[in-house]
Amino acid sequence: MTSEPFGDLIERCRAVEDDLVRRWRADVAASLRGRVSEIELDKELREILDAVLSAVSAAEGADTRSAAYGEARALLVDLSRARALQGFSPRETAVSVFALKKAVRESVGAGEEFLAFSDVIDELALFTFETYAKAREEVISNQAEQLLELATPVVKLWQGVVALPLVGTLDSARAQVVMEKLLQTLVDTGSEYAIIDITGVPAVDTQVAQHLLKTIVAARLMGAECIISGIRPQIAQTIVALGIEFGDIATKATLADALMLALGRIGVDVAAEMSKRGL
């Protein structure tokens, strides 16, 4: 395939490149509302323009999937990822490519060859949008993982005792994070006891109970025992009604009660320790 459909459009664009970029930059800057500096935007658009014009000049210039467009696609991937990370909308990202058509039309005119060039820009804009969508999904997924990490702290309460306070719903994804963080903390601290506090868990059903039991079994394989605290009257009734069995796993109404039990089991004289601290 040749570059004949584009006629002398590429040469004319090169001849008025500064004016073309100025028009393009103005439209893109208006859509981005000053959130990208003019210097950065100018550099970004000039690089994309040069890559696109070079690709269009190639023998396979009308095929945006050809090797000739490798550099242009790479630059558009960078642009899409940057816009996704900066929180720009799909429209704001797509305008960065679509606005090139208007700039070219105003700078060099809209002859017959412009239609072929317009088709190329449409294809590249679609590619940019698809890349943006994938990048945005990755950003959201990473943020969700980070929130899970932040929502699942493991706290060292005493030498040999750690606590895992749970707040909110315990689904499969979060249960996996809970297990991994607890096991890693047990390894790091060498703790013998882990208190899993479910005071902040709104409801305990069979699925939640199964997640808790799997975590406790995994902790036991690491040589640690678990105590469940935060068993409120409503949760106790639900557990009984559902026929959930915790077997020989110790349960307590409050975190304080669970801590006292754990300290007693590791041989800490709580009264003496409190006296030592002036409590």
What is the pTM (predicted TM-score) of this model? 0.56
> 214: buried, middle or exposed (CB in 10 Å: 19+, 13-18, 0-12)?
middle
pLDDT at 50: 95
Is 149 in contact with 180 (CB distance < 8 Å)? no
pLDDT at 148: 61
- Reported CATH class of domain 4-147: mainly alpha
Q: Tens digit of pLDDT per residue, the chain (279 long)?
A: 345 678 888 999 999 999 999 999 999 999 998 888 899 999 999 999 999 999 999 888 889 999 999 999 999 999 999 999 888 999 899 899 999 999 999 999 877 888 889 999 999 999 999 999 999 888 888 777 666 655 678 899 999 999 999 888 777 777 888 888 899 999 999 999 999 999 988 888 888 888 889 999 999 999 999 999 998 888 888 888 888 888 889 999 999 999 999 999 998 877 776 667 665
Domain boundaries, the chain: 4-147, 155-276
Do 155-276 and 4-147 have the same topology in CATH?
no
pLDDT at 134: 92
The residues that bridge with 164 in the sheet, in sequence order, are: 196
- CA R_g for the chain: 31
Burial per residue of 234-258, b for 16 or more beta-carbon CB atoms within 10 angstroms, e otherwise: ebeebbeeeebeeeebbbbeebebb
pLDDT at 174: 78
- Reported CATH class of domain 155-276: alpha beta
